[in-house]
Amino acid sequence: MVTATSPYQGYVYAYPHKTAYRPLDPRPPLRRVWEGEPMDSLSLYLHIPFCEMRCGFCNLFTRTGAPDELVAAYLDALERQAGAVREALDAALDGASGGAPDASSAAGGAPGGPVFAVAAIGGGTPTYLSAAELTRLFDLAERTMGVDLRTVPLSVETSPATATADRLAVLAERGTTRISIGVQSFIDAEARAAVRPQRRAEVETALGRIREAGFETLNLDLIYGIDGQDARSWRHSLDAALAWKPEEIYLYPLYVRPLTGLGRRARDWDDHRLGLYRQGRDHLLAAGYEQVSMRMFRLPDPARTAAPAHTTGYCCQSDGMVGLGCGARSYTSALHYSHEYAVGTRQVRAIIDDYVRLAPGDFTAANVGFRLGDDERRRRHLIQSLLQAEGLDPAAYRARFGTEATADFGAELDRLADRGWLETDAGWPRLTAEGLAHSDAIGPALFSGAVRELMAGYEAR
């Protein structure tokens, strides 16, 4: 039920959230976890938990100032994990096929192995790695996991300070199609207020290098709700971003979170953030962008429906994800799992220190996670669909579950409609413009009681 007064309850980028994960006892072998799962269209995610600085709003699993020897040890551990995971996936495929692996091959996968349709490298800041270390990371993905990164959509995150020419050259040469850079604000004083000390000149230089490298898609992240930011300064950052004609722009509301640099400066500024959101949304729509979700705006691309450079059949609703790295999560239809989760600096460092000491055998089972029954699978499909501007495809839901979403979640959908946040066109539920504005309240309100109870019982650390 949507009863929260604040429109900013939480960003639902995945369901359930990691704070609903618990230690798995006994730890299930990955071979059994993946046995019987479709592996012809997977997503590969590589997590690099290092940054040059910790922004005041950040609650990512990351640490700053990692020495060279720790980065090298992390890549060693990542390679051990990749080898163990690939063996488990191959064994799961062999078990599902009765020991007779298919000798055929497909884009993104090795002969007889799992097929990866999309890939992403996130963090942290992946370009914290040197050019040589990035090369090693790409080699690991291709040689060990068997994915040809030049044939699938590949997204990599960077920052103004680490988007150097040598690093970008590696990304471009190895097939990166999308690069995302967290600018947050083009006004130096606002960047400092968000505890992200950077200068606009540095940002513009980085953007120039990215454009020169020739990536298909440039994404810029901006944040609204920063102390001292008003409609005029927000418009200034929006226009500065638009000057680069990025293919995508993400608009993020500032969250004040526990255990982060801004966590001690919470105040009530919901109306202010909503006003800036609406201003940013309208400005981008007027500039020709289309809204994909509350946060994501992109330039229309005829090639997306005609002949995209990289076609993929991957669907986040139903296809699995293989995550490598101590902050990555993995998805199957029945289990979401990861390593330990933390936000606090001391705990994150301890988890990374433990990760780099793990032996290959330590990576053969799932550690912590959440098992999804049929109701949770339906709820996840509902949430992830509704929070996209296109809404929930009733035919896709029916084909997957054999029931109607309006029957399974009629009461929840009716309450959204009563508030003017949901409309239904020919049986296709989608959020209204104001519903999208309240996505961060709608998403958490649709969580199951079991997930909310687990999240409430999680001790932040």
Amino acid letter, 25: D
**59 and 206, same domain (yes or no):** yes
33 within 8 A of 332, measured Cβ to Cβ: yes
Domain boundary among 343, 369, 395: 369
Let me know if residue 192 belongs to a domain. Answer: yes
pLDDT in tens, 36-88: 999 999 999 999 998 766 554 555 666 667 789 989 999 999 999 999 999 99
The first and second tokens of residue 141, run together, are 């993905």
- Is there a domain that residue 290 lies in? yes
Question: Of all helices (H) and strands (E), which one includes residue 23?
Answer: strand 22-23
Query: 383 and 331 in one domain?
Result: no
Average pLDDT over residues 6-34: 94
* CATH code of the domain covering residue 99: 3.20.20
Q: Kindly tell me if the per-residue pLDDT of 241 is higher than 90.
A: yes
Residue 239 has pLDDT above 80, yes or no: yes
Structure confidence by residue, pLDDT tens digits, 249-284:
999 999 875 544 444 444 467 999 999 999 999 999
Tokens of 84: 């163990």
Crossing angle of helices 200-213 and 165-173, in 10° steps, is 30
Domain boundary among 354, 369, 384: 369
Q: What is the pLDDT of residue 261?
A: 44
pLDDT by residue (tens digit) across 343-368? Answer: 677 888 888 889 999 999 999 999 99
**Main-chain phi, psi angles of 87, to 5 degrees:** -60, -40
Find the helix or strand (DSSP H, E) in which 90 lies: helix 68-96
Q: What is the CATH number of the domain that holds 441?
A: 1.10.10.920
Please indicate, yes or no, whether residues 350 and 395 belong to a single structural domain of this protein.
no
- Do 387 and 296 fall into the same domain? no
The span from the CA of 326 to the CA of 380, in Å, is 24
Q: How confident is the model at residue 350, as a pLDDT?
A: 87
Let me know whether 154 and 32 are in one domain: yes
Same domain assignment for residues 296 and 420 = no
**Mean pLDDT of the chain, nearest integer:** 89
Looking at residue 314, what is its pLDDT? 64
413-424 confidence digits (pLDDT tens): 999 999 999 999
Other Cβ atoms closer than 10 A to 221: 17
For residues 308 and 441, membership in a common domain is answered with: no
Q: Are residues 143 and 197 in the same domain?
A: yes
Residues 130 and 88 in one domain: yes
Task: Out of 334, 369, 404, pick the residue that ends a domain.
Answer: 369
8 occurs within a structural domain: no
Helix H or strand E segment including 371: strand 368-371
In a domain, 271, yes or no: yes
Q: Degrees (nearest 5) of the Cα angle 114, 115, 116?
A: 120
Do 363 and 434 fall into the same domain? Answer: no
What is the C-alpha separation between 98 and 138, in angstroms, rounded? 32
Does the residue 424 lie in any domain? Answer: yes
257 and 400, same domain (yes or no)? no
395/363 same-domain check: no
Structural domain contains residue 187: yes
Q: Is residue 179 part of a domain?
A: yes
Total domain count for the chain?
Answer: 2
State the pTM of this model. 0.91
Full residue range of the structural domain in which residue 448 is found: 373-456
